[in-house]
Amino acid sequence: MAATLCGKLLPQKGWLPLTQSVRHGSKAVTRHRKPMHILKQKLLAVTRYIPPKPAHPPGAYPSQADMLKEEEIPLMRLLKRDVEAVFRDCKMVAVAQNNGSTSDGMIMLQHRFHKHGIKIKFFPNQVMRSFLSESIYGGMAPLFLGPTVLFTSKEPKVKEMLATLRVSPQMVLLGACVDNTLLSAQGLASYARLPSAAAVQGELLGGLSAPASQTGSLLQRHPARLTALLQQYAAERAEAEETS
């Protein structure tokens, strides 16, 4: 039996092994992918399809206004009431941007404004935008970006305010609400050049009284001329009688 196994396992004449190692020649890869042109990359980036976002049903998410109302704190409500009182009691509310004014410069500006009855007030921009979005002064909301200051007065003191701001270049006037009218910085300059109310009233009274005086002089012209002619005729007749 051992001889039989050995005869089966030993390689016979013409027998080849089951595994053969074949050696192939390795060849270096010399071709690389050509990079895409920059213009083509830009064109593909611009024309790439962007699928639209799925629209959520109404009421699924709270609106921004509801979120602001939920986050509104008692201090914010108190400041909004103060802002409402300012717009209700003051005929001039001007907005200026504070470009690095020092505390001493602010005190000096406040002292100069106090001589003309103008006050300086500070309110957070979030409070101002929240109040303006619900009021008729919504056009002033874009002015409240960055550090802003309010100049308020119960009477429109535009000329005095502009004259005082000339010595404070750190304060850049953005716009104002004067007599419930929104004005830009150029509009405020034009408003300051207008004559005072007393001068306008005097011109109006003069214009109204001029036609009345002219009418009176026209009505008196013919009777006066007739009287002069009659007096001249009487004098000539008396002279003629004396000579005869």
- In tens, the pLDDT along 206-234 reads 777 766 666 767 677 777 787 888 888 78
Most confident of 63-72, 183-192, 212-221: 183-192
At residue 70, the pLDDT reads 47
Round to whole Å and give the CA distance between 243 and 237.
10
State what percent of residues in the chain have pLDDT above 70: 74
10 pLDDT higher than 80: no
Q: How confident is the model at residue 4 (pLDDT cuts 50, 70, 90)?
A: low
What's the CATH architecture for 65-192? 2-Layer Sandwich (3.30)
Average pLDDT of the segment spanning 86-115: 91
**Domain coordinates in residue numbering, the chain:** 65-192
Average pLDDT over every residue of 66-72: 54
Higher pLDDT, 109 or 31: 109
Residue 48 has pLDDT above 60, yes or no: yes
Per-residue pLDDT at 212: 67
Predicted local distance difference test score (pLDDT) of residue 62: 55
Res. 53: pLDDT tops 50: yes
What mean pLDDT do residues 153-169 have? 90
Which pLDDT score is estimated for 148? Answer: 92
Query: Which of 205 and 52 is assigned the larger pLDDT?
Result: 52
Which comes out higher in pLDDT, residue 196 or 143?
Answer: 143
Give the whole-angstrom CA distance, residue 161 versus residue 120. Answer: 11
pLDDT of residue 154: 92
Rounded Cα distance, 214 and 6, in Å: 154
Q: Identify the bridge partners of residue 120 per DSSP, sorted by sequence position.
A: 151
Q: Which pLDDT score, from 0 to 100, does residue 1 have?
A: 52
Residue partners of 175: CB distance under 8 A and separation at least 6: 94, 95, 140, 143, 182, 183, 184, 185, 187, 188
pTM above 0.85, yes or no: no
pLDDT at residue 244 greater than cutoff 50: yes
Taking the C-alpha atoms of residue 85 and residue 101, their distance in angstroms, rounded to an integer, is: 27
Partners of 151 in the β-ladder: 94, 120
- Give residue 177's pLDDT: 92
Average pLDDT of the chain is: 79
Average pLDDT over residues 30-59: 82
Strand partners, 37: none
